Amino acid sequence: MKKIQGGVTAPQGFLAAGVHAGIKKSKKDVAVIFSEKPAVGAAVFTTNKVKAAPILLSMENIKDQLISAIVVNSGNANACTGEEGMLAARQMLDETGKCLGIPISQVLVASTGVIGVPLPVNKVLNGIRMACQALSREGSGAAAEAIMTTDTVPKEIAVEFEVYGKTVKVGGIAKGSGMIHPNMATMLAFITTDIGMEKELLQETLREVVDESFNMISVDGDSSTNDMVAVLANGLSGVWVKSKEEEAYLKFKNALEYVAIYLAKAIARDGEGATRLIEVRVVNAESLQKARKIARTVTSSNLFKAAVFGEDANWGRIITAVGYAGEEITVEKIDIYLGKVKVLQKGVPLPFSEEEAKEELAREEVIVTIDLNEGDANAVAWGCDLTYDYVKINASYRT
């Protein structure tokens, strides 16, 4: 497997575009992704009980065997907007289907931005028309820009691998910066591939991959109303996968995991106001569930995140988070490392160099290892530091 250029348009048969429709003052705000051949679709949606209108419609459409297009607007979440919001989301489906000549049941719709504000539907519909006209093999970057809200950089990746003498490609774009928490958050991720796969197997694979990537990131503990991860597989590579035992499946899942984890880490790294990516590794746990729960709890600790921002080796905040994660632990078995600096051994504090620990916390990627010394299950979660700018950004988000 190797990284390539192209994002969601790297796989065969995919086109994309991103345009400025006027929802935002100057930046791109409407994106369309299109598969020239109807693709098998799979998706995972927010666990928030309050779901935006586009999420409700996409949850229905994903039940269809085939998905040909994804339409997205940024700058407005179209959430908590009542029947007017549902009508606007349906109009987005209708316009996309009309422009592309496809059934509206083959369209997924997504929105991101401010909650509780009516969608400027005429601007969005005009943006859809412009985006459909601008679709191209080079449009992934523009689409990645068009789905951004408080993101500071677009998030895009593509990889390819060889199997059965053919080349298979997987590409993706994502957005997310704030309101990010395990079990989905204000994040959108759209992944394309030219491999072929039955819907049930694709859905199962996506769920497994999401659980170890997008569900393992946290920025601020808030889970949103609008998040979605979707994957489209159009089969144009000529490789068709029927079972998990096939070589092609194993290579595809590896590629999908790489793309998803890359995008998930990019979201955590770009957390609102963040200056550092935090990676928490929980090793030698008795179960994967326990390892994931503890890793996610530590990355979600505001006190620990603030300590990373201040480059303060306050490991007590780590062990405290381990303790309230809701899992049974034996403190006397636990070791903790800040980067290469060991600060706790078998539950007992170790003397360590504050300067060396500060150096580890000053890195762009801060790695924390928590060794439970009780089993062989491992998990990794990602987050970011908590800075003054996070408060500034969210104190004036609507203005």
Q: How many residues does the chain have?
A: 399
149 annotated as belonging to a binding site for a ligand: yes
| Burial (Cβ within 10 Å: 0-12, 13-18, ≥19) of residue 332 | exposed
| Burial (Cβ within 10 Å: 0-12, 13-18, ≥19) of residue 353 | exposed
- Helix runs in the chain, H state only: 53-61, 82-100, 121-134, 140-146, 199-211, 247-269, 288-299, 302-309, 316-323, 354-361, 388-395
Of 214, 218, 180, 221, the residue nearest 44 (C-alpha)? 214
Residues 146 and 127: their CA atoms lie apart, in Å, by 11
394 annotated as belonging to a binding site for a ligand: yes
Residue 47 catalytic?
no
Is 66:42 a contact under the CB 8 Å cutoff? no
From 81, 96, 150, 186, the catalytic residue: 186
355 annotated as belonging to a binding site for a ligand: no
Residues 108 and 115: their CA atoms lie apart, in Å, by 20
Is 219:274 a contact under the CB 8 Å cutoff? yes
| Burial (Cβ within 10 Å: 0-12, 13-18, ≥19) of residue 347 | middle
List CB contacts of 357: < 8 A, sequence separation 6 or more.
313, 338, 339, 341, 343
Residues 105 and 110: their CA atoms lie apart, in Å, by 14
152 annotated as belonging to a binding site for a ligand: no
In whole angstroms, what separates CA 99 from the centre of its chain? 28
Which DSSP state fits 62? Answer: T
Tokens at 349, concatenated: 């504090």
272 annotated as belonging to a binding site for a ligand: yes
In whole angstroms, what separates CA 322 from the centre of its chain? 25
354 annotated as belonging to a binding site for a ligand: no
- Phi first, then psi: what are they for 56, rounded to 5°? -60, -40
Enumerate the active-site residues.
186
Q: Which residue numbers belong to the known binding site for substrate?
A: 149, 175, 186, 272, 394, 399
